[in-house]
């Protein structure tokens, strides 16, 4: 019995330290230990099978699409680009993030039918515990919810898969800094970004959103009360 008691105490303390973020950010191999060795996005990219121009982006915010974005099959390409959100290295992360943004801006009603296929890529990205990847993914979730009226409610059934990471990191006041080139607020920390994302989910998720968020993130307070 003694040993398990000791372990229990150890585990309790450890819980905090195992939630340490990988602050490697854009360094080579940052966060590799926490994710798959390669993403499907990277495989497509390396084979030249993505409808994008292979030009190196240096701080630019446009990628060249070789096909009219309105003609793309969203059920294939949206999950594929979302899969690339787990990437920590250039050029993959750059193309994946900008590709996701472009697709969400242009997608409209083509987005919500694909929502179930976006859950695993989002979960994988949040599970990297890489600060830059997590902050970027939270901004993308907000953008996803705002992309169409039907997306917010469509996400509610998947909170059980997405929100455990929110709960784990909600109290982390780690600064996201300037690591996210297109972040509108450069001084936002991870805890604040999680709160903001939960508010976006609640505001756009319909009447069942709050109770389902509260179930997964007990410390969350409704933004309608403020």
Predicted pLDDT at 224: 80
User: How does DSSP assign 4-43, residue by residue?
Assistant: HHHHHHHHHHHHHHHT--BTTTTSTTTTGGGS-SS-HHHH
Please, are residues 130 and 24 in contact by the beta-carbon 8 Å criterion? yes
> Look-up: residue for tokens 């195992």?
18
The DSSP bridge partners found for residue 22 are 130
Q: Residue 21 — pLDDT band, cuts 50, 70, 90? A: very low
Nearest to 204 by CA among 225, 183, 190, 223: 223
Query: Does the pLDDT of residue 175 top 50, yes or no?
Result: yes
The per-residue pLDDT of the chain, averaged, comes to 81
CA 114 to chain CA centroid, Å, is: 16
Q: Phi/psi of residue 191, each to 5°?
A: -60, -45
Query: Does the pLDDT of residue 142 top 80, yes or no?
Result: yes
Instruction: Give me the mean pLDDT over the 120-147 stretch.
Output: 95
Instruction: Give me the mean pLDDT over the 124-151 stretch.
Output: 95
pTM of the model: 0.78
Predicted pLDDT at 55: 64
Q: Which residues contact 205 (CB under 8 A, 6 or more apart)?
A: 145, 152, 153, 155, 156, 212, 213
Lowest mean pLDDT segment, chosen from 36-40, 79-83, 90-94: 36-40
Give me the architecture of the 40-172+187-216 domain, per CATH: Alpha Horseshoe (1.25)
Neighbours of 41 (CB within 10 A): 25
Joined together, the tokens standing for residue 64 give 């060249």
pLDDT in tens, 180-218: 443 444 446 888 899 999 999 999 999 999 999 999 999
Query: Does the pLDDT of residue 173 top 70, yes or no?
Result: no
Instruction: Give me the mean pLDDT over the 56-63 stretch.
Output: 62
Q: How far apart are CA 3 and CA 151, in angstroms?
A: 49
């Amino acid at each position: 019995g003694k040993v398990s008691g000791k372990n229990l105490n150890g585990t309790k303390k450890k819980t905090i330290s195992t939630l340490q973020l990988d602050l490697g950010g854009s360094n080579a191999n940052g966060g590799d230990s926490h994710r798959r060795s390669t993403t499907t996005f990277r495989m497509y990219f390396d084979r030249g099978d993505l409808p994008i121009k292979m030009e190196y982006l240096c701080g630019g915010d446009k990628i060249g699409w070789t096909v009219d974005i309105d003609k793309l099959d969203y059920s294939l390409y949206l999950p594929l680009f979302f899969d690339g959100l787990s990437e920590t290295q250039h050029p993959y992360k750059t193309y994946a993030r900008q590709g996701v943004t472009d697709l969400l801006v242009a997608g409209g009603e083509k987005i919500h039918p694909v929502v179930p296929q976006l859950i695993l890529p989002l979960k994988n990205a949040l599970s990297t515990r890489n600060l830059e990847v997590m902050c970027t993914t939270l901004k993308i979730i907000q953008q996803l919810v705002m992309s169409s009226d039907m997306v917010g409610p469509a996400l509610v059934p998947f909170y059980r898969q997405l929100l455990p990471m929110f709960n784990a990191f909600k109290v982390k006041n780690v600064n996201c800094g300037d690591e996210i080139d297109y972040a509108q607020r450069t001084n936002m920390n991870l805890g604040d970004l999680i709160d903001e994302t939960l508010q976006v989910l609640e505001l756009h998720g319909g009447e069942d959103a709050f109770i389902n968020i509260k179930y997964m993130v007990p410390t969350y307070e409704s933004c309608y009360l403020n």
